Structure 1
Amino acid sequence: MNEQKTIAISEIEDKHELIAEVADKIWEYAELSLQEYKSCDLYCDTLTKEGFLVEKGICDIPTAFKASFGNGKPVIGILAEYDALSGLSQEGGALEHSPVIQGGGGHGCGHNLLGAGAFAAAFGIKKYLESAGENKGTVILYGCPGEEGCASKAFMARDGEWDDIDAALTWHPEDCNEVVTGSSNSCIQVQYTFHGIASHASATPDKGRSALDAVELMNIGVQFLREHMSDRARVHYAITDAGGVSPNVVQAKAQVLYMVRSNHVSEAVELQKRVDKIAEGAVLMTETTYERKFVDGLSDTVTNRVLERVLYKNFEELGVPEYTKEELLYAKKLSMTYEDSDHTPGLGSAFDIMYAENVKGLRAEYAKQCREAYESLGDNEEPEDNNIKTVAGAKASDKRVGGMNGFLLPHFEGEAFEPGSTDVGDVSWCCPTAQIHVAAWPNGCPGHSWQNVSSARTEIGHKAAVHAGKVICAAAIDLFENQELLTEAKEEFKKRTTGGYICPIPKDAKAEAVT
């Protein structure tokens, strides 16, 4: 790497302890969507001390912020997240399910690491800008709360926050090291609260109007809708209030939360309109009334190959995190506690047989190195003798190939699709955007699990955050130094977004926590 990158990367390495400390504090706070007040304050206070210009509460979201350094163009945005998930409290570094607070929150998606890695990248870029000169450009670290239950980046897109930046970069903890590509599902959440008339269900049933009937009829209507929507569309629901526990009372209030997904945001918006009509039909059939509350919405992701290649080049140059023998053994043991620890990692593996075969070869080669590490620590027995609970029916040989993926996957440039959703998609409709995955837990570790929470509070997680920061920082320096890359990225962006951005957030909607 050139001298400028070397200096910037060294700055990140020098702040390894601070980055890990912040990641661990966010892990401990484990604050849910739009309730991340301690996490937001921690970032804002630390960034202010480090010389960034910090603005808290952007786009009318109290736990959102942006921290800027530098002057002029280009402007590179780095995206941070820091919300946790409910019910996933877990002891850090443990090899069994052990909640710290029963029913409490936990970072099952690793957002304590995600934010810390973006934080790390901002430090490195700031160091580069200081050495390159005042007018070289600007870096903005965006604190984006509520990815799991609000989609704050989509609210920011509606308010034009992304319109003035030249490119956005981010990352996400995963079970492998790769550059992210392809599309994802868009998603819209709406809450329907039906109001009826309470009455004695036996003595005067004719006087009652059941809100629960309206919920059930709405659900039936949506079931029939499923035959007449796109293959990639999905509609999920949860009855959040069934009207009480007394069957002899006609329920006067009932509530259901709906989530509509489709590959393209324009399709999701149209599908949501059809679900709204079904709610109106349920009201007519039951002679009830209803309130419709928009919760959140987010878009599919737009690929940008130019930025992907910049990220991959720097990922190749920097390599991947290295682990101690003890860390490798921990990862191996953790992978014994869930199914599918031998799956083939990588977005491209599901879409290209030859790519998947290549990845299997890389895994097999790395597994040999790991076995040597296990044996050097005296762990040469079968997993059943390690006092670790194995998955029912699993063979010991299957578990031998679990553990970390300590290698970089080839850059997949085919068509890929993730059925999940992320509000990074809305950023990608407003400016060129790209992201990477860095291994923060063992192969096949299930998303939103206690195992994720456990690993996110270890040095394996810390190393993922620091390394992600280095890759993003180095890629950003390339964009500052070679603005032809940005020009190419913008040209590709224009071609891929010719249909225009359809924001799923209504003009009057406010970002609010779901309670």
Structure 2
Amino acid sequence: MSNSKNVWSRIDEKAPAYFALSDRIWGMPELNYQEVRSAAEHRAMLEAEGFRVTMGAAGLPTAVIGEAGEDGPVIAIMGEYDALPGLSQAEGVATPEPLEANGNGHGCGHNMLGSASLLAAAAVKDWLAAQGLKGRVRYYGCPAEEGGSSKGFMVRAGLFDDVDVALCWHPASFSGVNRAFSLACVEVEFTFTGRASHAAAAPHLGRSALDAVELMNIGVNYMREHMPSTARVHYAIIDAGGIAPNVVQAKATVRHLIRARNLAEMWDMVGRVKKIAEGAALMTETQVVAQQLSGDANLVGNLPLEQAMQANLEAIGGPGFDVADHAFAARFQATLSQEDIAASYARFDLEPQPGEALSDIIYPLGAGNDNSVGSTDVGTVSWVVPTVQCRTACYAIGTPGHSWQLVAQGRAPAAHKGLALAAKAMAGVAADVIENPALLEAAQAEFAAFRAKNPFVNPITDDIEPPLDMAAH
């Protein structure tokens, strides 16, 4: 671990401004690729800090990159700032209370995520200058993590080709190094086209696209019995063909999110789902077109970087919650089921502690299991550059991701303390990599050994356009 941890003191000095940034982003929740105001806030902070700023990276209007430093290793610190639909919620209120009917909300803590990552980058920038060290720190403001796969488009555009190490984090109930396991995924829209007709006078002349959607979904549901236990398939009907039941629906669209343990398994699943769609079209005498919107690779771990991040977290300690933080969190924990709380402990192989609303522990390196896992576009980055992430406690134990309870806790002092811990952990690893060439060499050697045995094809292929309007449905 680096002896130059005055990078942490720089985070302490800068933290209030970044707590305010997080709170502002919380107050302007924007969906995939619509994060115009949030990106502008991050750009303004980068410019105020003296970064060299690029907007519209990889052809994504709400992507922003800031770079500082000269020569030496390139450290990427990735941030996010997209929100989720239907999760509008008043802050600090322990009952469902939307600020806007069907409005958006930061139900995954991305208001904190981008702010902490930018804070870490700013601290490393100042530390490099003060120490007179060679190195570049680059903040990647990444839109549309929630299904839009912006990092995959950035990888495809070559924006990580010169990066030596990539760092990220995520808000959680507990603090520690993120176990490098996630599901590879693709999001595909299936649009069926049939023939409209009067549903009563001439039903025999119609060919229902909605029937095809329903038959496809039934087929996928039957497939669940015959797919790997770690695979997942979810769907949403994007266009049901209209609101008139007396019209045979001539067009309908369903969006499927297909996940599996690794890329090979995922592509096999995608092929099976496409066959089901073709079967549904055959049964209904309709036509189907499949359009891939996005895709993420599974996470690849890097033990040297994970060990460095664990050492930083243990040296810093937990977020440092106080009595008021615990009392605040307890109000939200009271809205949760015992199953929610138990599942939160089980995710990190921890023993439940009755009456504990917040956690200050650093869980052991490697803790966790494969039973509760999602997907992230950080996975695609981890296939092209050595990557490490941490999680830090920001909210009540048991709080479900993508929930109104998480939104309500997103501006609390506990959230700020978890944000600061994450920034210190990432900045500490960046300092270690720059000061300790052996660490960088070990991280890159492990990465090269993995890639030598595992060829990579970006799930964002050349024919896929960024789904900039996917939130409009």
TM-score, normalised with respect to structure 2 = 0.94
Give the superposition deviation at 1:405: 0.5
Match of 2:266 in 1: 268
Match of 2:431 in 1: 477
Corresponding residue pairs, total: 468
- Matched-pair contact (CA < 8 Å) for 1:346–1:409: no
SS in 2 for 1:337: coil
What is the identity, as a one-letter code, of the residue corresponding to 2:256? Y
Match of 2:405 in 1: 451
Match of 1:86 in 2: 85
Q: How does 1:28-107 map to 2 (within 5 A)?
A: 28-107=27-106
Looking at structure 2, the residues matched to 303 and 2 of structure 1 have their Cα atoms a distance apart, in angstroms, of 22
Evaluate the alpha carbon distance shift between residue 417 and residue 58 of structure 1 in structure 2; reply closer, same or farther with a 3 A threshold.
farther
- Matched-pair contact (CA < 8 Å) for 1:342–1:402: no
Match of 1:4 in 2: 4
Match of 2:325 in 1: 327
Give the superposition deviation at 1:2: 6.5
1:127-185 Cα shifts (integer Å, max 9, x gaps): 11102226x11110001110112011111122222221111111100001111113111
**Which has the larger displacement, 335-344 or 422-431?**
335-344
Looking at structure 1, the residues matched to 229 and 337 of structure 2 have their Cα atoms a distance apart, in angstroms, of 28
Looking at structure 1, the residues matched to 56 and 98 of structure 2 have their Cα atoms a distance apart, in angstroms, of 32
SS in 2 for 1:473: helix
**Which structure 2 segments of 5+ residues have no match?**
none
Looking at structure 2, the residues matched to 321 and 260 of structure 1 have their Cα atoms a distance apart, in angstroms, of 36
Looking at structure 1, the residues matched to 368 and 25 of structure 2 have their Cα atoms a distance apart, in angstroms, of 36
- Matched-pair contact (CA < 8 Å) for 1:299–1:503: yes
What is the identity, as a one-letter code, of the residue corresponding to 2:278? E
Evaluate the alpha carbon distance shift between residue 348 and residue 224 of structure 1 in structure 2; reply closer, same or farther with a 3 A threshold.
closer
Match of 2:456 in 1: 501
Looking at structure 1, the residues matched to 250 and 53 of structure 2 have their Cα atoms a distance apart, in angstroms, of 48
Q: How does 1:462-473 map to 2 (within 5 A)?
A: 462-473=416-427
Looking at structure 2, the residues matched to 231 and 92 of structure 1 have their Cα atoms a distance apart, in angstroms, of 38
Say which of 292, 316, 320 aligns to 2:314.
316
What is the identity, as a one-letter code, of the residue corresponding to 2:149? A
Looking at structure 2, the residues matched to 414 and 39 of structure 1 have their Cα atoms a distance apart, in angstroms, of 33
TM-score, normalised with respect to structure 1 = 0.87
Looking at structure 2, the residues matched to 467 and 140 of structure 1 have their Cα atoms a distance apart, in angstroms, of 20
- Matched-pair contact (CA < 8 Å) for 1:178–1:346: no
Match of 2:149 in 1: 151
Match of 1:393 in 2: none
SS in 2 for 1:89: coil
| 2:134 is equivalent to residue 180 of structure 1 | no
Q: How does 1:102-251 map to 2 (within 5 A)?
A: 102-133=101-132, 136-251=134-249
- Matched-pair contact (CA < 8 Å) for 2:2–2:431: no
Give the superposition deviation at 1:416: 5.0
Evaluate the alpha carbon distance shift between residue 78 and residue 225 of structure 1 in structure 2; reply closer, same or farther with a 3 A threshold.
same
Give the superposition deviation at 1:37: 0.5
**Which has the larger displacement, 472-481 or 279-288?**
279-288
Give the superposition deviation at 1:122: 0.5
Evaluate the alpha carbon distance shift between residue 418 and residue 158 of structure 1 in structure 2; reply closer, same or farther with a 3 A threshold.
farther
- Matched-pair contact (CA < 8 Å) for 1:183–1:418: no
What is the identity, as a one-letter code, of the residue corresponding to 1:29? M
| 2:431 is equivalent to residue 432 of structure 1 | no
Match of 1:16 in 2: 15
- Matched-pair contact (CA < 8 Å) for 1:347–1:416: no
Looking at structure 1, the residues matched to 343 and 206 of structure 2 have their Cα atoms a distance apart, in angstroms, of 56
Looking at structure 2, the residues matched to 94 and 255 of structure 1 have their Cα atoms a distance apart, in angstroms, of 37
- Matched-pair contact (CA < 8 Å) for 2:2–2:435: no
**Which structure 1 segments of 5+ residues have no match?**
351-355, 364-397
- Matched-pair contact (CA < 8 Å) for 1:151–1:298: yes
- 4+ residue stretches of structure 1 with deviation over 6 A? none
1:310-342 Cα shifts (integer Å, max 9, x gaps): 001111111122123222211122211111364
Evaluate the alpha carbon distance shift between residue 332 and residue 133 of structure 1 in structure 2; reply closer, same or farther with a 3 A threshold.
same
SS in 1 for 2:4: helix
